[in-house]
Amino acid sequence: MNLTWTDEQQMMKRMVRQFAEEKVAKAAEHMEETDEFPREIVKEMGELGLMGIPIPEKYGGSEMDYASYILAIQELSRVSAAVGVILSVHTSVGTNPILYFGTEEQKKKYLPKLASGEYLGAFALSEPGAGSDAAAMKTTAKKQGDHYILNGSKAWITSGGEADTYIVFAKTDPSAGSKGVSAFIVEKDFPGFHVMPKEKKMGLHGSNTTPLSFEDCQVPVENLLGKEGQGFKIAMANLNTGRIGIAAQSLGIAEGALDAAVAYAKERKQFGKPIGMMQGMSFKLADMATMYEAAKLLTYQAADLVSRGLPAGKQASMAKMYASDAAMKITTEAIQVFGGYGYTKEYPVERFFRDAKVTQIYEGTNEIQHIVIGNHYLRD
Ligand code: CAA
Ligand code: FAD
């Protein structure tokens, strides 16, 4: 068993850490104040080759392994969870469905633009009435001549209004449950496609989350992804690996909070000595660091399986569930280490705490991850 990174992976980690500390950190402050989407950062990520890390070179990507991609998400999220999720959604569920299920024409048309960052990708599965129970979606797609006509609405779409392409799921056969769902590549300017005003969120400021509305939206038949009825499997297959991206985002948030807490515990003095010298504080930091390391091992294991082309659904759900819970616990404790100062905006730990919460909710809540993991042992 080899637990060391390759030279290429270490290079990626160093490069993204430098970019995150030099560029993203400054943008994160601005995003926090204004909730503005970081368009310039996305452009720079494209120039650095980050928007297509695991995409083959023949489609314009960097053709690096999945573990390198996971390292990049972690490094970005250590500084800004919002930038981390923009990249994760773009790649894992916004681009990969085309790579794995697209026709050659679809790959040639969309992948080079997505991999270079000229296009930003999004994924539209959830609906106002169908979140965890994704198969209960109400959006429909009816074939009429050389178009599908989509009607309905989607909720909580990351990069809504900023993305150029949306992988949209709709029912071509509403009577067939999950087997009646189909997937489509929808471009932002297709007639009948509308982006609704963005949500006002607790955290992840700068990452747009919007509802979408489809009113007789015309999608050319050649933009059906996979076959009719294959949509639910496409969604689940991409979430299987996508969830590792959220695990990596959680790791980044946890690492940012842990680094800040350790530095503060060394510097802040009470009772004549640094608070880190008190056993009550050092035990806390030891627990935080141990949870972080355990989350790291689960996440890197899942990423390594994907890099080697092996099934990783169970490990991805375990990594997402454990790492997001670890991030919540570590960020909560980080605020405690900072005392009253941790409760103010003077330090970044309160932002890490607010950003950590959503990792327990999206890409399948942690209750849903329990179901997925349980099914691996009890059903399959
Ligand atoms: N991988 C592959 N196939 C899967 C699968 C998986 N993980 N889970 C289910 N399937 C297949 C099943 O094998 C089954 O196929 P067959 O009928 O051919 O056997 C079919 O899909 C239906 O399976 P179920 O009956 O188990 O489906 P269900 O309706 O009970 O739902 C669920 C299962 C796991 C709860 C699923 O609905 C789910 O994952 N829900 C959570 C939704 C989610 O994760 N949304 C994330 C949106 S994206 C996002 O959030 C992005 C972001 O925040 C940044
Ligand atoms: P519900 O499904 O209504 O769940 C409410 C509660 O009930 C949760 O605690 C849940 O765990 C629990 N629950 C539900 N069913 C069960 C069960 N069977 N057993 C036990 N407990 C259960 N979606 C997209 O498609 N694309 C995106 O890009 C996207 N980005 C997002 C960004 C943000 C910031 C947020 C907040 C959400 C995003 N989502 C996105 C949606 C996200 O995936 C859903 O919010 C999530 O799947 C939960 O759905 P819900 O909010 O409808 O909650």
Instruction: State yes or no: pLDDT of 380 exceeds 70.
Output: no
| Separation of alpha carbons 10 and 343, rounded Å | 35
> CB under 6 Å to ligand 2: residues?
89, 123-126, 131-132, 156-158, 201, 204, 209, 358, 361-365, 367-368
The answer to the question of residue 1 being in a domain is no
Nearest CA to ligand 1 atom 40: 132
Q: Is the CB of 60 under 6 A from ligand 1?
A: no
Q: Which of 187, 256, 194 is nearest to 225 (CA)?
A: 187
Span 70-95, pLDDT tens digits:
999 999 999 999 999 999 999 999 99
For the chain, give the percent of residues with pLDDT over 90.
98
Interval 357-375 mean pLDDT: 97
Is 374 found in the same domain as 297? yes
271 assigned to some structural domain? yes
> What CATH number is associated with residue 313?
1.20.140.10
Q: What is the DSSP secondary-structure string of 167-198?
A: EEEEESSGGGGGGGEEEEEEETTSTTEEEPPP
Residue with tokens 């198969």: 135
Decide if 281 is inside a domain. yes
**What pLDDT is recorded for position 371?**
96
Name the most confidently modeled range: 2-6, 112-116, 344-348. Answer: 112-116
Determine, yes or no, domain membership for 2. no
Domain presence at residue 162: yes
Verify that 79 and 185 share a domain, yes or no: no
Query: Domain for residue 107, yes or no?
Result: yes
Separation of 370 CA from ligand 2 center, angstroms?
A: 14
What average pLDDT does this structure show over 139-146? 98
Domain presence at residue 141: yes
d(Cα 116, Cα 102) in Å, to the nearest integer? Answer: 18
Ligand 1 atom 6 nearest Cα = 236
Asked whether residue 356 carries a pLDDT value surpassing 70, the answer given is: yes
CATH of the domain at 198: 2.40.110.10
Confidence of residue 3 (pLDDT cuts 50, 70, 90): confident
pLDDT of 253 higher than 70: yes
Give domain status of residue 321, yes or no.
yes
Average pLDDT, the chain: 97
Segment 171-180 shows an average pLDDT of 97
Is the confidence at residue 314, as pLDDT, over 90?
Answer: yes
Do 374 and 242 sit in the same domain of this protein? yes
Please give the pLDDT value at position 379: 82
Nearest ligand to the CA atom of 249: 1
Cα separation, 173 vs 182, in Å, equals 9
Q: Complex ipTM, two decimals?
A: 0.98
Instruction: Report whether residue 69 contacts ligand 1, using a CB cutoff of 6 Å.
Output: no
Which of 88, 120, 152 terminates a domain? The answer is 120
Domain closes at, from 89, 120, 151: 120
Specify the pLDDT at position 153. 98
When divided into structural domains, the chain yields a total of: 3
Q: Is 363 a catalytic residue?
A: yes
Query: Do 374 and 252 fall within a single domain?
Result: yes
CATH number of the structural domain spanning residue 57: 1.10.540.10
Q: Which domain holds residue 295?
A: 233-378
Same domain, 257 and 358: yes
Ligand nearest to the CA of residue 130, numbered in listed order: 2
Same domain? For 201 and 282 the reply is no
State the pLDDT at residue 135: 97
pTM of the model: 0.97
Q: Examine the fold and report which residue of 190, 206, 231 is the final residue of a domain before the chain moves on.
A: 231
